[in-house]
Structure 1
Amino acid sequence: MKVAGIIVEYNPLHYGHLLHLQKTREHTQADAIVAVMSGGFTQRGEPAIFDKWARTEMALQAGCDLVIELPSAYTVQPAEWFAYGAVSLLEHTGIVHSLVFGSESGSLSQLQALADLLTNESPELRLLIQNSLKEGMSYPRALGQAVARLYSIPDQAASLLAQPNNTLGLQYIIALNRLHSSIVPATIQREQSQYHDLQPTHHQIASATAVRQLLLNNDQQASSYLPETTMSIIQREVAAGRGAVELNQLWQSLFQMITTHSPEQLAQYYDMSEGLEYRFKKKLPTLQNCSITDLITALKTKRYTYTRLQRLIAHLLLGHTTSVLNTANLKKGPGYIRVLGFTNTGRELLRQMKKTASLPVITRPTDTDHPHMELDIRASAIQASCFAAQQSSYLYSDYQRSPIRV
């Protein structure tokens, strides 16, 4: 059986994602698709708009055959670690033949050439990137400038790195190289909408950012950009009081934590550096409104970007301490393959994985004692605390829900 892998958030699944799935099958002639999906929180440091069970169902209805969870230790991360964690999971299944991702360029050869150049990252490159990040530059731009400065490559190749999906795709290929994986990368050009578009620019395809904004505003226009199966699941979840969720709903938990923790305690959390803990304590009492958005705006400087601060807030909420999340631990890769859902074809894949997987394949938290699982459970519970319907079963869904079967 020919199996393609994809890495997704489906926050929520829209027509652009559906197109990606269709082109993945066409391009690879795959018999099955395995999706690695984020859980309660997303890469940008926000709670997902709907829980992972609803988004798994969206994925299976749209054409995925097996959905596995990317641990939150790798989800709430810059492109390098997000990619490394997700690609590691696909590699450890032992059944995936290709990895298909979207990019702005649609040029695999250019990304592959850059990845081959950057796989063994030099200390000089790392230092240039870190210095640029400290000055407040975005990671894609910092990487592009560092590469252009150190290596003789065409300006066009360096400019590719200014786009978020190109940067993420590059990191997927680098991860494949570092893992010495036999999985073959392939890319599909992103169409109609761009990653950060706040407003729809096409009659059917919009960015997930734009779709989320419509859903949070209860705008009926959202249905124009969502497959019927996705919309049906969303309507069910909203009616049950399980969404839509957004970051500002967690302001009370965050503010209480910052208020009751000393700067020394805050400094123990992942990515809390350069005295940011004191800046948190100083800025919080000055806010006019109780809003995480307002706090980030108050904290934001040229050096501390919005995205970095949003991820840092997620690390605080999720209990991501430096003792658990650090470079040495992250390099080890995920410690388990958590199954969120499958189709009949996916069931066959799971049977194969009993022979091929090089990590434990689990369906319940009690199947592993890996420290990352505790963080995943916390991520689900914190996201569920935002639901309008406050039920203990939602907070403990990781223990009470079985994988979704379609």
Structure 2
Amino acid sequence: MNIVGIIAEYNPFHNGHLYHLKQCKKLAEAEACVVVMSGNFTQRGEPAVFDKWTRSRLAVQCGADLVLELPFAYAVNSAEAFARGGVGILDRLGCVTHIGFGAEHGSLPEMERLAGFLAEETAEFRECFKEFLAEGYSYARARERSVEACLGPDFANLSKTPNNILALEYLKQLKNQKSNIKPIIVNRKGTGYFDARPAGNIASASAIRHTLTAEERKNCVPPQVEEAFACRREVKGYFELIRSLVLRSSSEELSQILSVGEGLENRMKSQVRICRSLEEFVEGIATKRYPKTRIRRILCQMLMGLSSFEDCFYARVLAAGEKGKQVIRQIKKQGQIPVFTNINKEASLPEILKYDILAGDIYNILTGMELYRHCDYVTRPYMEKA
């Protein structure tokens, strides 16, 4: 049977995600949908609006069949690493036939052409990229300018928007990992990624988190998600935790964090006593080369002590419906990676899974949840009953 895979954050799940999920199933003629979802912290380096167990349960209640965790080491990382982790898991499940992802604009053939060009990294591209980095551009901006120089403005426009950037990375990873999974693009409907206002009953996840009133939000999310908002716990003390770690760490220790470079650790030390909020701190550290989103990721990586990691893929089950349970059985027969539903029963666990567990503990502290009762060793996946 056809099974479509989706790599997502669902922070939170909203009507746009519901549209995307349904379209992916329809276009792939899929009988089931497997979602690889980031955990308690997102790719932007921020605590998620709900914990991973809540978000995965809501995804299943809204139409996903199986939700697996994207390990923290990939989830809170660059778009390239985020895609490498997601595609790496989906490909090794042994049963996923299609992968569906969103894009602001562009057709699959032109996106595949650009992804192939980026994966090939011609001498011309490398030289342009090197020059733009030397001028102080961020990685993303240097790549965009290099594409424009080599292929022209139309292709450069394809590499500018958030969903397109990830779509290109997914296509690159399918090529790099020699995957047989077939890609599907669903063009974004309604509002843009950064739009603060809804368009009809669709709003961006950012708008839902930050700018919409409760009444506006109600029209833009499924009922189950709105119910979750009613008992949501606020994140408190995140900046204080970050600041205390910077104060107690030496510059040398900070320099070991995965994405830190070019003396960024010294900027952290110089700003930590001056800034009064996380936003001020991020602003004080950010540079043309290191934009604010990357700084937030670095701070989150620092919180978990992530200095380096080797690629390691596994299927950590967060939630499953009836079809999802069938897919789990299929993965255990056909897959190339271990399936974890209860980490207490495993004789040995992948080294990078420790970051997922720690991220859960830190998130519970920040939201005031009872640490033992809600930790990864105690919480079990949501299994929908027939």
| TM-score higher than 0.5 | yes
The one-letter amino acid of 2:223's match is E
> Take 1:311 and 1:176, find their aligned partners in 2: how far apart are those partners?
25
Q: CA deviation at 1:214?
A: 4.1
Determine whether 1:189 maps to 2:167.
no
Match of 2:218 in 1: 223
Letter in structure 2 aligned against 1:251? F
Aligned partner of residue 46 in structure 1, secondary structure: coil
Alignment partner of 2:155: what SS?
Answer: helix
- 2:120 is paired with a residue of what secondary structure? coil
- 2:383 maps to what in 1? 405
- Distance in 2, matches of 1:144 and 1:67, equals 33
SS at match of 2:170: helix
Identify which range, 44-53 or 124-133, moves more after superposition.
Answer: 124-133
With normalisation by structure 1, the TM-score equals 0.89
Percent of aligned positions with the same letter in both sequences?
36
Q: For residues 323-334 of structure 1, what are the structure 2 equivalents within 5 Å?
A: 324-325=308-309, 329=310, 333-334=311-312
* Cα distance in 1, alignment partners of residues 130 and 205 from structure 2: 29
Per the TM alignment, residue 189 of structure 1 is displaced from its structure 2 partner at its CA by 0.5
Tell me which of 185, 200, 208 is aligned to 1:211: 208
Contact 1:196 1:209 in 2 (8 A): yes
Structure 1 position 138, deviation (Å): 4.7
- Partner residue of 1:283 out of 266, 271, 285: 271
Of 293, 305, 311, 1:307 maps to 293
Contact 2:138–2:288 (Cα < 8 Å) also in 1: no
Deviation at 1:302, TM superposition (A): 2.3
Letter in 1 for 2:179: S
Relative to structure 1, is the Cα distance of residues 134 and 68 closer, same or farther in structure 2, using a 3 angstrom cutoff? farther
Partner Cα separation in structure 1 for residue 257 and residue 70 of structure 2: 21
CA-CA distance at 1:111 after TM superposition: 0.5
The question of whether the paired residues in 2 share the 8 Å contact of 1:8 and 1:37 is answered with yes
Query: How far apart, in 2, do the equivalents of 1:355 and 1:234 lie?
Result: 38
1:112 paired residue number: 112
Structure 2, gaps ≥5 residues long: none
Structure 1 residues 211 and 403, CA gap change in structure 2 (3 angstroms): same
For the 8 Å contact 2:41–2:47, the answer to whether it is kept is yes
CA offsets per residue over residues 346-389 of structure 1, 9 Å max, x none?
111111111111011111334342111111111111111111x4
Q: For the residues of structure 2 that align with 1:257 and 1:131, how far apart are their CA atoms?
A: 35
Cα deviations by residue, 1:189-227 (Å, 9 ceiling, x for unpaired): 001111122x12312111101101147xx7443212111
How far apart in 1 are the matches of 2:46 and 2:85? 18
Matches of 1:140 and 1:271, distance apart in 2 = 15
Whether the 8 Å CA contact 2:174–2:181 is kept in 1: the answer is yes
Quote the offset at 1:233 in angstroms.
Answer: 2.6
Aligned residue type for 2:200: H
For residues 129 and 343 of structure 2, the distance between their equivalents in structure 1, rounded to whole angstroms, comes to 37
Return the alpha-carbon distance in structure 2 between the equivalents of residues 116 and 12 of structure 1. Answer: 32
- Contact kept? 2:364, 2:371, Cα under 8 Å: no
Q: Are 2:372 and 1:393 aligned?
A: yes
Partner of 2:173: 175
**How far 1:41 moved relative to its partner?**
0.7
Contact 1:134 1:304 in 2 (8 A): no
Within 2, Cα distance between the matches of 1:210 and 1:386? Answer: 22
Q: Is the 1:106–1:188 Cα contact (8 Å) retained in structure 2?
A: no
1:13 partnered with 2:10: no
Unmatched tracts of structure 1, length 5 or more: none
Task: State which of 287, 305, 319 in structure 2 corresponds to 1:319.
Answer: 305
**2:343 is aligned with what amino acid?**
P
Shift of 1:188: 0.6
Is the contact between residue 119 and residue 178 of structure 1 (CA under 8 Å) also seen in structure 2? yes
Quote the offset at 1:154 in angstroms: 4.4
Aligned-partner Cα distance in 2 for 1:127–1:67: 41
- The question of 1:271 aligning with 2:259 is answered yes
Residue 119 of structure 1 deviates from its aligned partner by: 2.1
Match of 1:383 among 359, 363, 369: 363
- Aligned partners of 1:168 and 1:227: how far apart in 2? 25
The normalised TM-score by structure 2 is 0.93
**1:115/1:304 Cα in 2 relative to 1: closer, same or farther (>3 Å)?**
closer
